[in-house]
Amino acid sequence: MTEKLKFRCFDTSRVTEEIANVHSLVSGDLSEPYTIAIYYYFMLNWPDLAIFAYVDGNPNEFVGVIVGGLRNHQQRKLRGYIAMLAVKEEFRGRGIAKQLISEQIEAFKQHGADEVVLEAECKNKAGISLYEGQGFIRTRRMSRYYFGMNDAFRLVLPLTEKALKPTVFLNPTETEELETY
Ligand SMILES: CC(C)(COP(=O)(O)OP(=O)(O)OC[C@H]1O[C@@H](n2cnc3c(N)ncnc32)[C@H](O)[C@@H]1OP(=O)(O)O)[C@@H](O)C(=O)NCCC(=O)NCCS
């Protein structure tokens, strides 16, 4: 394939169409079903962390997507979270996922994130190899994490010194937000 690939962020003037496009691309590949509210939650709160790959000239037909969010983890460090990543089957093996991850990591850095985390099914060899190749490390195995009872690995990419210290030794931030990730 010789098409020129391009990348862009979520377009907030086309919310319904953008979310429908993401849903149609990722729904077949997710480890568990997501409600439409999850898409709205991530993409409306963090439009710059929803990044799409498309073929030049066809910006509304996505061939790859990555979606993420941010939280204060235990009120001590800012944690970026990768909620979903998928590349259309016929476009796989061309470095699209690698490019989406590296664009999103840059966006997380712009937000001041201390680390980036995600969960991946233990049996997802391609996904785990992809993230480990980008510097993520496995920190936990979570038994029966998914709806279908499969185990997950927690994968973490430290971005700052804070990410390397146990949370309990860091000074609290001023936010009252509670951890959900
Ligand atoms: C996993 C996925 C996103 C990879 O997308 P991709 O664009 O084909 O990935 P890339 O071409 O950027 O490959 C990057 C790295 O991923 C790994 N990888 C990709 N496909 C792989 C495969 N079939 N088997 C093993 N490793 C694989 C390799 O480490 C590869 O690096 P390399 O090319 O230097 O060997 C894609 O297969 C997909 O959408 N899968 C279904 C959804 C999913 O599993 N999402 C990830 C959840 S953790």
pLDDT digits (tens, 9 = 90+) for 89-119: 999 999 999 999 999 999 999 999 999 999 9
Q: Is the CB of 124 under 6 A from ligand 1?
A: yes
- Please tell me the pTM assigned to this model: 0.93
User: What's the mean pLDDT when you consider all of the chain?
Assistant: 92
Domains of the chain as residue ranges with CATH: 5-169 (3.40.630.30)
Question: Whose alpha carbon is nearest atom 43 of ligand 1?
Answer: 86
Residue 22 pLDDT > 90, yes or no? yes
- The answer for residues whose C-beta is within 8 angstroms of residue 127's C-beta and 6 or more apart is 85, 120, 121
CA-100 nearest atom, ligand 1: 12
Per-residue burial over 134-153, b if 16 or more Cβ lie within 10 Å, else e, is eebeeeeeeeebeeeebebb
